[in-house]
Amino acid sequence: VITFLLVSLSIMAQPAYMSLPLDSSTTTNRLQPIVFTFSTPSSVDPSTIVLFVNGTPYTVFDPELTWSPANLYFTPSDSFDEGEVVCSLAVVLDFSGDTIPGLPVVGRFFVDLSGPFIWASGLVGDTLPTPHTTTSSTLGGWWIVVDRYSDLDPLSLQIRVHGVTYTFPSSAITLTD
């Protein structure tokens, strides 16, 4: 008895990835372009591409989406709001009508349009509600500084007290995460 096993692989299929911006990165650009790159673009049927950006589908027939092998470019026509932007390369077929393996390819990035802000502050060792005036020169201050969509660069921190500016690193400033 001879048994044959026929295995068929689509040699036309290729993976894709979001190359711009980097996945989970943060941008301040309201009109951040998005690029998906295909490792073997020659068999991609561009007429089948469907890219979702924040739930809205786009095809190469929309002005926001451009196919230029090996890249798929999305240029937003409207500004992104502050927060998370989710992109999903949901549909791509090759010229044989087969789905490109590994789909959907989902990427996300964050648009950060506002800077860090002081969430709370007070005086160390003082029990009076803030703001108030004190004459003690031995009290230290504390601040909770928050940036919603990106990391705070401690080297950018400046605290000014009575005309003296303190920067980090400094023995006068202690950071806790």
| Residues 8-56 pLDDT 10s | 444 333 479 999 999 999 999 999 999 999 988 988 999 999 999 999 9
Kindly report, residue by residue over 64-74, the tens digit of the pLDDT. Answer: 999 999 999 99
Q: Which long-range contacts (CB under 8 A, 24 or more apart) does 124-127 make?
A: none
Looking at residue 84, its pLDDT comes to: 95
CA angle 39, 42, 45 (to 5 degrees): 105
Element (H, E) at 123: strand 117-123
User: 3-class DSSP state for residue 10?
Assistant: coil
pLDDT at 141: 76
Q: Supply the pLDDT for residue 72.
A: 97
Query: What pLDDT, in 10s, does the model give residues 98-118?
Result: 998 889 999 999 999 887 777
2: pLDDT confidence band, cut at 50, 70 and 90?
low
Query: How confident is the model at residue 147, as a pLDDT?
Result: 76
| pTM of the complete model | 0.69
Q: Please name the helix (run of DSSP H) or strand (run of DSSP E) that holds residue 90, with its range, or none.
A: strand 83-94
**Token pair belonging to 55:** 């739930």
115-138, pLDDT tens digit by residue?
777 777 777 766 666 665 666 666
Q: How high is the pLDDT of residue 11?
A: 37
- Please, are residues 51 and 62 in contact by the beta-carbon 8 Å criterion? no
Indicate whether 7 pLDDT > 60: no
CA 175 to chain centre: 26
Are 166 and 172 in contact by the 8 Å Cβ rule? The answer is yes
**What average pLDDT does the segment 140-146 reach?**
77
